[in-house]
Chain A
Amino acid sequence: MRTVLNHTCLLPVHLNARSPYSQPFPSLSELSSALGGLGGVSELEAETLRPVNLLQERNILPPKRAPPPEPNLSNDLRKVNCSPDTFRCTLTNIPQTQALLNKARLPLGLLLHPFRDLTQLPVITSNTIVRCRSCRTYINPFVSFLDQRRWKCNLCYRVNDVPDEFMYNPVTRSYGEPHKRPEVQNSTVEFIASSDYMLRPPQPAVYLFLLDVSHNAVESGYLNVFCQSLLDNLEKLPGDTRTHIGFVTFDSTVHFYNLQEGLSQPQMLVVSDIDDVFIPTHDSLLVNLKESKELVKDLLNALPGMFTHTRETQSALGPALQAAYKLMSPTGGRVTVFQTQLPTLGAGLLQSREDPNLRSSTKNVLHLGPATDFYKKLALDCSGQQIGVDLFLLSSQYSDLASLACVSKYSAGSVFYYPSFHHIHNTAQKQKFQKDLQRYLTRKIGFEAVMRIRCTKGLSIHTFHGNFFVRSTDLLSLANVNPDSGFAVQMSIEESLADTSLACFQAALLYTSSKGKRRIRVHTLCLPVVSQLSEVFAGADIQAISCLLANMAIDRSISSSLSDARDALVNAVVDCLTAYRANGSNIQPSGLIAPAALRLFPLYVLALLKQKALRTGTSTRLDERVFSMCELKSQPLQQIMRMVHPDLYRIDNMTEQAALHLNDSVIPQPPLLQLTAEKLTREGAFLLDCGSVMYLWVGKCCNETFIRDVLGFQNYASLPSNMTEIPELQTTYSERTRAFISWLLESRTFLPAFHVVKDDASTKTSFFQHLVEDRTESAFSYYEFLLHIQQQMSK
C-alpha cells in the first residue's frame, strides 16, 4: 500500500471525473488508500460514503445544520455555479441512465426558490439577449465557446453564433472576450426584457383587498389589525406612481367603495344581487394610490367602526371573488382575501365536511381535496387575466380550507392560516398576524410572470409542485411571483447521458416588476453526470430528497389516500437502504447500514410522518392538516426543513466557546440537540426553532439566574403562562441570548411567533409534539422506526 501512495501520479484516476472502478462499490479502506493522496474531492466522497450503523450510532445529528453537499466539479465551475439556496437538486451527481436512477431508489428532482431576495444581482442592460437558436436557452457560464465567434449550447449542443454586440464587454471595456461578459460569469443574472417579451405594456401594481365583515369577522377583531397595518405600510407598498388600490367588503352582500379623488369621503355602494354580481361604476373603485391617498386613509380609519353592530352572519365569498375578478380583469394584479368563516351564500358555498370524531382516526382521512371546482375554475380564470389571489384565513371553526386554498394554489397566490384568531383571547396569533402582514405588504412582488425550466437533452420534467398553473409542457404561469414561495419539480432521464459529463438546468422567470419594468431572472445550475451507483449515493442531498418526498406524499394522499402516502414514504427509505446494501461489498448482517450522506434519511422521514399533514392517530383538525400540506408544497426548502425537523438548542448555559464575533457582538453557538425528551433536563432552558414558531421551554428547576437575567422574573413560579417575547435587559446573559436569537432570525423573511413554555402549561403539548424521536401513543420512536425498517428490509 505504501508504494501506491508514493506513486500517486501513476494511478489512472482523474481528479474531476468519476472513478474508473469496475466493482460496484469499493470498500472504504480500498478507496481511502488508493485515493488518499489526490486531494479534497475523493476524501469528500469517501466521507459521504462512510457506512454508518444507524442502530448503534446514537449521535447522527451534526452540531450545526449541515450545508448542502457540494457537487464534484472543478473549482472554476464550482465558483460560478448557482447558489444552493436558489436551485438545489436531490442528487448532486446525476445518474447517467434511468436504469441507474431506478437502482438507487431515490427521487430525482429540483427544488427552486427563483425569486428569493438577493443582496447581489447582476443586471444586464444590453439590447440583445443571447439565446440558443433551437432550445432558446439563455447564455450561461456553462456554455462552451468554440472560438471567439461561436458558442455551443450546453442544453441542446447546438452551435450558435456570437452576435457582434456581445463581443464587447461593457464591464472591462474590452473587445473580443465574450466569455468575460457578466452573463457568462454569473449563474444568476437578471436581463432587462425588450418589447419582444411583452404581450401588452407592463401593467402597474394593482392591489385589491377583499374583506370579510360578517359578525364573526368583526368579533375576531382582525379588521382593526389589518387597517392599522395597511395605514402604517401604505407608503411602502411596492409600486410607483401608477399603483392602484381598491377595497371590497362582503357579508351577505358585496360592498364597493368609490374613492374618486375629489370626493369628500369614501362612498359605499352595495350590490345585493349576489347571483349575478355586477360592478356598479367603472372607474374610481380601483383608484390611483397617490391621487386618492387621503380618501384611502379615511376609509381605513373608518372601516373597523362601520361594521361594529352588524348582525350579518352569512358570508358570500364566491360572489365577492367573482366581483373582484370582474374588477381586476382589465389590468391584472393582486387580490388579498380575508375570510373568517365557511362561505355560506351564493356561488361557491361550502358545507361543513369535517367530522370532529374522526380527528384522531388511524384509518383514512377524508376530504383532503376540494369539494367543488368553483374555486379552481375561478383561480384559472384569474390566472388567465394575470390576477393572483392570496388568502388569509382567520377562522376558529372548520372553513374547508381544502376547497378555499384552490383559489390561491392555481393563481400563484399564498395561503396564510391563523386558527382560532381573536384579537383579545389569542394575542399570540394577533402578533403573528401583524408581523406577517408587515412582511406581506412590503415584500417585493412580480406581476404577469411565466417561468420555464429547461434541462440538458435527455432529462425531462414530468411533475410540478407549487402554487402556479402549468399552462403547457414546461411553461408555468404565475400571475404573481413573490420572494417567499418555493417550487419543486420531478425529473426523469429519457435518454442516456453517457456522452456528456455535465448536466445543466436553467430556470428563467419573466416578470413585470412593481415599477413596471419587464425583467427576466435566469438561474443556471450545473451538476456532474456519473455512471456508478456509489457516486449517486455519495452525492445525495438528504434535505432536498426529504422535501421532494414530502411533496410527493401530499400529492399521493390527495389523489389516493393518506395511508398509501405514509406507506410510500416508509417504502422509500426501505428501498433506498436495501439498494445500498445490495450494492455494498461489506455486508454486515446485523445493524442498519446507511452511507453517511443518507444517515439522516430515516430520521427525516419519521419527522415527516409525524407532521400535522401526514400524521394519523393524533387529533388533528382538518383545516390545520390541509394548511400544513399547503405549506409543505409551497415553502422554500430551508423553511420546510425547520418545520419538519426543528432545531433544538440548550440556551441557559451558552458559553463563548467557539462563538462567532460579528459587528462587536458575540454570538454563542450552542450545538444542535436531538429531538428527544432525553436531551431536555429540568435544570435547563431550551429553544426550539420551528421556522414559523419558536418555543423557549423552561424546566421546573431551571437556575434562577437565567430566569432573572434573561426573562426578567424572580423565579419559575412567577413566570406568566403566555409570555411571547424576551425582554431587553442589560445583563450579559440577556444580551447573549438575544444576540443568538437575532442571529438565528437574520435572513428570515417571516418572523416566527415566540412562546415561552413552562413545563406545566397547555402549550407544552405543541412543544412536545415536535420531539420526533420520541414514542407517542400512535407513532414509533426513532429506534423503533429503525427496527421497523430493518424488519421490512429483511422481507
Chain B
Amino acid sequence: MEAAVFISSLVDCCALIFLSVYLIITLSDLECDYINARACCSKLNKWVIPEMIAQALATVLMLVSMHWFVFLLNLPVASWNVYRYVKVPMGNMGVYDPTEIHNRGQLKSHMKEAMIKLGFHLLCFFIYLYSMILALIND
C-alpha cells in the first residue's frame, strides 16, 4: 500500500519534472527569439491546469497516506499554483499573457519560477524514491 502510494507519487513527480523542463525550454526559446510571444504563451497556457492537477494529486496522495512532512512540503507549491491561476485579471489570456510577458520583467520572473519548481520537484523525486525503496524493502 505504502509502496503503491510512493510509486504513483514518483511517477507524478517525474511528469512534473518533465513539464518544468519543457516550460524552461519554451521560455528560453522566447528569450532567444526562436518563437514569438503568442505561440509561446499558448503552449504554456495549455499546461497550467495539468500542472495544477498533477501537483494537487501529489499533495492529496501524501495527505491521504498520512505522510505529514511531505504533505506540508508540497502544500505551498500547490496553493501557489492555485493562487496564480485564480489571480489572473479578467482581461488576460491566461497565466501567461502574450501582451504582458515582455513587460516589467515578467519573462525573467516566470523563468525563475520554473527553475525553482524544477529544483523542488527534483528534491521531491529523491524523497519519493528513497521512501519507495524503504517501503518496498519493508513489505
Q: Is the CB of A369 within 8 A of B89?
A: yes
Q: Is the CB of A462 within 8 A of B104?
A: yes
B2-51 at interface with A (beta carbon < 8 Å): 30-31, 33, 36-38
Q: Which residues of B does A touch, CB under 8 Å?
A: 30-31, 33, 36-38, 89-93, 98-99, 101-105
Q: Is the CB of B31 within 8 A of A371?
A: no
In angstroms, Cα B100 to Cα A463, docked, is 9
Tally chain A residues at the interface, Cβ within 8 Å: 24
Closest to A462 in B: B105
Chain B residues with CB under 8 Å of A463's CB are 103-105
Q: Least Cβ distance of B54 to chain A in Å?
A: 25
Chain A residues with CB under 8 Å of B36's CB are 471-472
Chain B residues with CB under 8 Å of A462's CB are 103-105
Known: A473-B31, A473-B102; 7 extra A-B contacts, CB below 8 A, are A371-B91, A403-B91, A410-B99, A469-B37, A470-B37, A473-B33, A559-B104
Q: Is the CB of A464 within 8 A of B103?
A: yes
Q: Is the CB of A555 within 8 A of B104?
A: yes
Q: In the complex where A410-B99, A462-B104 touch, is A373 in contact with B37 (Cβ < 8 A)? A: no
Closest to B102 in A: A470
Q: Least Cβ distance of B25 to chain A in Å?
A: 16
Q: Is the CB of A369 within 8 A of B90?
A: yes
**Chain B: interface secondary structure?**
loop
In angstroms, Cα B101 to Cα A611, docked, is 29
Determine whether A376 belongs to the interface, using a CB cutoff of 8 Å to chain B: yes
Q: Is the CB of A371 within 8 A of B90?
A: yes
Chain B residues with CB under 8 Å of A470's CB are 37, 99, 101-103
In angstroms, Cα B102 to Cα A410, docked, is 13
Chain A residues with CB under 8 Å of B102's CB are 464, 470, 472-473
Chain B residues with CB under 8 Å of A555's CB are 103-104
Closest to B103 in A: A463
Determine whether A380 belongs to the interface, using a CB cutoff of 8 Å to chain B: yes
Chain A residues with CB under 8 Å of B98's CB are 380, 469
Ordered by A's residue number, 12 sampled pairs between the chains whose C-beta atoms are within 8 Å are A369-B90, A370-B91, A372-B90, A373-B92, A376-B93, A380-B38, A462-B104, A472-B37, A475-B33, A555-B103, A559-B89, A559-B104
Closest to B108 in A: A462
**Per a CB cutoff under 8 Å, which of B38, B91, B93, B105 touches A384?**
B38
Q: Least Cβ distance of B109 to chain A in Å?
A: 11
**Chain A: interface secondary structure?**
mixed
In angstroms, Cα B30 to Cα A387, docked, is 24
Chain A residues with CB under 8 Å of B91's CB are 369-373, 376, 402-403, 406
In angstroms, Cα B98 to Cα A370, docked, is 15
In angstroms, Cα B92 to Cα A186, docked, is 42
Determine whether A748 belongs to the interface, using a CB cutoff of 8 Å to chain B: no
**Per a CB cutoff under 8 Å, which of B31, B33, B93, B103 touches A377?**
B93
Q: Is the CB of B37 within 8 A of A471?
A: yes
Chain B residues with CB under 8 Å of A464's CB are 102-103
Q: Give 5 nearest A-B pairs by CB, closest first.
A: A370-B91, A470-B102, A472-B33, A373-B93, A369-B91
Closest to A472 in B: B33
Q: Is the CB of A376 within 8 A of B99?
A: yes
In angstroms, Cα B99 to Cα A287, docked, is 33
In angstroms, Cα B103 to Cα A469, docked, is 11
Q: Least Cβ distance of A141 to chain B in Å?
A: 28
In angstroms, Cα B38 to Cα A471, docked, is 8
> Which of the listed residues A369, A384, A470 has the most CB atoms from chain B within 10 Å of its own CB?
A470
Chain A residues with CB under 8 Å of B99's CB are 376, 380, 410, 469-470
> Chain A 578-609, CB within 8 Å of chain B: the 1/0 string?
00000000000000000000000000000000
> Chain A 548-585, CB within 8 Å of chain B: the 1/0 string?
00000001000100000000000000000000000000
> Chain A 471-484, CB within 8 Å of chain B: the 1/0 string?
11101000000000
In angstroms, Cα B30 to Cα A371, docked, is 28
Chain B residues with CB under 8 Å of A469's CB are 37, 98-99
> Which of the listed residues B31, B33, B99 has the most CB atoms from chain A within 10 Å of its own CB?
B99
> Chain A 360-381, CB within 8 Å of chain B: the 1/0 string?
0000000001111100110010
Closest to B90 in A: A371
Q: Least Cβ distance of A196 to chain B in Å?
A: 18
> Chain A 331-373, CB within 8 Å of chain B: the 1/0 string?
0000000000000000000000000000000000000011111
In angstroms, Cα B99 to Cα A410, docked, is 8
A391-426 at interface with B (beta carbon < 8 Å): 402-403, 406, 410
Chain A residues with CB under 8 Å of B37's CB are 469-472
Chain B residues with CB under 8 Å of A472's CB are 30, 33, 36-37, 102
In angstroms, Cα B104 to Cα A555, docked, is 10
Chain A residues with CB under 8 Å of B103's CB are 462-464, 470, 555
Chain A residues with CB under 8 Å of B89's CB are 369, 559
Closest to A381 in B: B38
